[in-house]
């Protein structure tokens, strides 16, 4: 027997989600079919509401219920410093660091030559425009520590330097609490390069 078409359709759609393979999509589809009406309503409502309410802050492109977002409109923060991240999830991770009191900018991804994601596909132009208009003294680049994040950081840094604004990148090194035994060579090498006098 072939799988009924409506189930097949649902599997096809769910399979496109990140990190979801065919088997996982099947499992989720049958699970959704078996859910109670109230559970499905809760699920669909949560999607509908989040998509309705959440907007992109027109200053930093973070996802927020308000525009400008909570952070951009917080006058107690340091408006001279911007931390550049790839995604809203990254912003939340950095914002847990209480010592950082500056603002943010969400690129909406990283440059990726292999996936044909160039400067026009992420918000680099908007970042430059903001740097030209606002009085920013330092940009901290906090893109991911993978090759795309690295390429993006280098690309942005080159542009920002020309604007005579200080650019820094998050330090590389051992993750705190990490075991040297399990750290990879590149990380240890970077940690040695970035060693601090005691």
Residues that bind its own copies (CB under 8 A): 1, 3-7, 9-10, 12-14, 17-20, 23-24, 26-33, 40, 42-44, 46-51, 53-54, 63-65, 70-71, 87-89, 91-92, 95, 182
Q: How many CB atoms lie within 10 A of CB 87?
A: 18
Nearest distance, CB of residue 157 and its own copies, angstroms? 25
Nearest distance, CB of residue 27 and its own copies, angstroms? 6
Mention every residue, 6+ apart, whose C-beta is less than 8 A from residue 70.
64
Nearest distance, CB of residue 4 and its own copies, angstroms? 5
State which residue, 2 or 164, has the beta carbon closest to its own copies. 2
Extract the tokens encoding 68: 């400008």
The rounded distance, in Å, linking the Cα atoms of 118 and 115 is 9
State which residue, 54 or 154, has the beta carbon closest to its own copies. 54
State which residue, 18 or 177, has the beta carbon closest to its own copies. 18
Contact criterion met (CB below 8 Å) for 117 and 111: yes
Query: Is the Cα dihedral 75, 98, 167, 158 positive or negative?
Result: negative
State which residue, 92 or 193, has the beta carbon closest to its own copies. 92
Nearest distance, CB of residue 117 and its own copies, angstroms? 14
Pick the closest to residue 153 from 61, 85, 59, 82 (CA basis): 85
State which residue, 20 or 159, has the beta carbon closest to its own copies. 20
Please classify residue 196 by burial: count the beta carbons closer than 10 Å to its beta carbon, then call 0-12 exposed, 13-18 middle and 19+ buried. exposed
Nearest distance, CB of residue 130 and its own copies, angstroms? 19
């Amino acid at each position: 027997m072939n799988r009924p078409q409506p189930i097949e359709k649902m599997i096809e759609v769910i399979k496109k989600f990140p990190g979801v393979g065919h088997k996982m999509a099947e499992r989720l589809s049958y699970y959704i079919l078996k859910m109670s009406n109230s559970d499905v309503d809760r699920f669909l409502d949560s999607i509908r509401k989040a998509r309705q309410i959440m907007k992109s802050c027109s200053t930093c492109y973070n996802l927020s219920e308000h525009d400008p977002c909570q952070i951009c409109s917080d006058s107690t923060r340091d408006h001279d410093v911007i931390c550049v991240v790839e995604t809203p999830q990254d912003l939340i991770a950095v914002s847990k660091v209480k010592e950082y009191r500056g603002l943010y900018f969400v690129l909406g991804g990283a440059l990726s030559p292999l996936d044909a994601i160039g400067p026009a596909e992420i918000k680099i132009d908007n970042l430059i425009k903001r740097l030209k208009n606002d009085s920013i003294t330092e940009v901290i680049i906090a893109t991911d520590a993978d090759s795309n994040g690295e390429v993006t950081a280098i690309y942005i840094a080159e542009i920002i330097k020309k604007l005579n604004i200080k650019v820094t990148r998050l330090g590389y090194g051992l993750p705190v609490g990490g075991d040297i035994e399990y750290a990879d060579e590149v990380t240890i090498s970077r940690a040695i390069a970035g060693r601090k006098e005691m």
